């Protein structure tokens, strides 16, 4: 394969060279444990706190409200289980949506087995949660509302500020899984009424294995890892210093370049969307056209199946992902695509292409051409297409 076109930045991103450079010293030179007493370690502890401060400021929080974790899934688990446990005297009801990441959905399902009740809100055809529905779902025993900031599959950005306002008016904590949004869209936790926010380092050019949970001061949440005094005793365990330093560097760069990246990526995203619509009949773009992540394209191609599409894209050097059942190891296609109302068969023919600042116009054009060829080829083999053509002739 002569070239690789990476269109799966929602899965993970390349660690930026500046980030890697920043991290190196913390493996080999500044390797001390920040919890230790001597100066060698104290200096590192200061670096970690500076990093915490930088990240806190990027979302309008204070450093004491940022807790480093092992990643987005851990943060989601902690936010939900931690609040459920700490608030169990108040109530046992949680509100979330049908299109959340499995880190949220499966955590809620786990709690259901332990006496909690969960409302899974429907979304509309573009993937929006209705703030009105959130309001109507609140009960006296509701302890938490967890709605994602932006959807990882279809890119739709949820009305976070409104949902947060409703939560606060009802005196219910509001958590948002911002793994796809953090570092990609401007976030201010006060303006958006967010009480807890999950983020991950590797979605914005940082390393894997580091994430954070923002916990607003005063929010009652049980400790996650019992052990040392790290993360103010809430999440014990030796600090992932290199991870923290790399994460902070990635956040710094992401914020500096955010405006520019959004403009650049949106242009390419729209070029890709328009190209697909122009070149490939019976294609459908999923997610809202405007209120969506600048790097996300999600399309369904009728009469073809996603895994076959992905393998053929791979053979042409393009890395993408799909909501097809075959790529998840289960028989059901993406819960997100089903939640926006797509029939199973259409949902099986989906592909997600997620761009980055490294993506070029040539990459986009090559991808459109490749998609067209592949979809044509798969349709020529598809009994569904055969039936469709016969029926319409």
User: Which CB sits closer to another protein, 274 or 345?
Assistant: 345
Nearest CB to another protein, comparing residues 156 and 382: 382
Decide if 326 is catalytic.
Answer: yes
Task: Give the pairing type, strands 350-354 and 66-69.
Answer: unpaired
Residue 384: CB minimum distance to another protein, A: 5
Angle between helices 306-315 and 361-380 (to 10 degrees): 130
| Minimum distance of another protein from residue 390's CB (angstroms) | 10
What residue ranges bind another protein (CB under 8 A)? 302-308, 310-311, 314-315, 324-327, 329, 331-333, 341-346, 348, 380-386
Q: Which helix (H) or strand (E) holds 319?
A: strand 318-319
Residue 200 gets the label, from left (phi > 0), alpha (psi -120 to 50) or beta, of beta
CA angle 16/18/19 to nearest 5° reads: 65
Closer residue to another protein, CB minimum distance, 253 or 304: 304
Catalytic residue among 108, 300, 319, 326: 326
Nearest residue (CB) to another protein, 169 versus 314 = 314
Cα–Cα distance between 284 and 342 in angstroms, integer? 10
Least distance (Å) between residue 7 CB and another protein: 16
176: phi > 0 → left, psi -120 to 50 → alpha, else beta; which? beta
Question: 177: part of which helix (H) or strand (E)?
Answer: strand 173-177
We find the least distance from the C-beta atom of residue 277 to another protein, in angstroms, to be 15
Q: Which is nearer to another protein, 227 or 343 (CB)?
A: 343
d(CA 365, CA 381): 25
Side-chain half-sphere CA neighbours of 13 within 13 A: 29
**Considering only CA atoms, which of 354, 249, 370, 365 is closest in space to residue 10?**
354
Q: In the complex, what is the shortest distance from the CB of residue 250 to another protein, in angstroms, rounded to a whole number?
A: 26
Q: Which residues are catalytically annotated?
A: 326
């Amino acid at each position: 394969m002569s070239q690789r076109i990476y269109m799966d930045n929602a899965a993970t991103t390349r660690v930026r060279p500046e980030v890697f450079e920043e991290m190196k010293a913390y493996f080999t030179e500044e390797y001390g444990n920040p919890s230790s007493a001597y100066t060698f370690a104290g200096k590192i502890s200061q670096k970690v706190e500076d990093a915490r401060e930088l990240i806190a400021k990027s979302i309008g929080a204070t450093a004491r409200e940022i807790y480093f974790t092992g990643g987005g899934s851990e943060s989601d688990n902690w936010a939900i289980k931690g609040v459920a446990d700490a608030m169990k005297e108040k109530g046992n009801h949680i509100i979330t949506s049908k299109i959340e990441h499995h880190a949220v959905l499966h955590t809620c399902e786990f709690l259901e087995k332990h006496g909690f009740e969960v409302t899974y809100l429907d979304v509309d055809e573009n993937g929006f949660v209705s703030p009105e529905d959130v309001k109507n779902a609140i009960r006296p025993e509701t302890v938490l509302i967890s709605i994602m900031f932006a959807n990882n599959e279809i890119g739709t950005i949820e009305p976070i500020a409104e949902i947060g306002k409703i939560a606060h008016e009802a005196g219910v904590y509001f958590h948002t899984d911002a793994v796809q949004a953090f570092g990609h869209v401007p976030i201010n936790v006060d303006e958006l009424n967010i009480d807890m926010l999950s983020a991950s380092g590797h979605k914005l050019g940082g390393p894997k294995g580091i994430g954070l949970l923002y916990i607003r001061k005063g929010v009652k949440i049980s400790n996650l890892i019992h052990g040392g005094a790290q993360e103010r005793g809430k999440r014990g365990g030796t600090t992932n210093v290199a991870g923290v330093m790399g994460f902070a560097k990635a956040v710094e760069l992401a914020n500096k370049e955010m405006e520019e990246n959004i403009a650049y990526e949106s242009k390419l995203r729209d070029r890709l969307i328009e190209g697909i619509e122009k070149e490939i009949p019976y294609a459908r773009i999923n997610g809202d056209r405007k209120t969506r992540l600048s790097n996300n394209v999600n399309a369904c191609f009728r009469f073809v199946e996603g895994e076959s599409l992905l393998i053929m894209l791979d053979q042409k050097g393009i890395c993408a992902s799909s909501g097809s059942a075959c790529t998840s190891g289960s028989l059901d296609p993406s819960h997100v695509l089903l939640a926006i109302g797509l029939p199973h068969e259409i949902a099986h023919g989906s592909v997600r292409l997620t761009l980055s600042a490294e993506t070029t116009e040539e990459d986009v054009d090559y991808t459109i051409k490749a998609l067209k060829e592949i979809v044509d080829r798969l349709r020529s083999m598809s009994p569904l297409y055969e039936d469709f053509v016969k029926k319409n002739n």
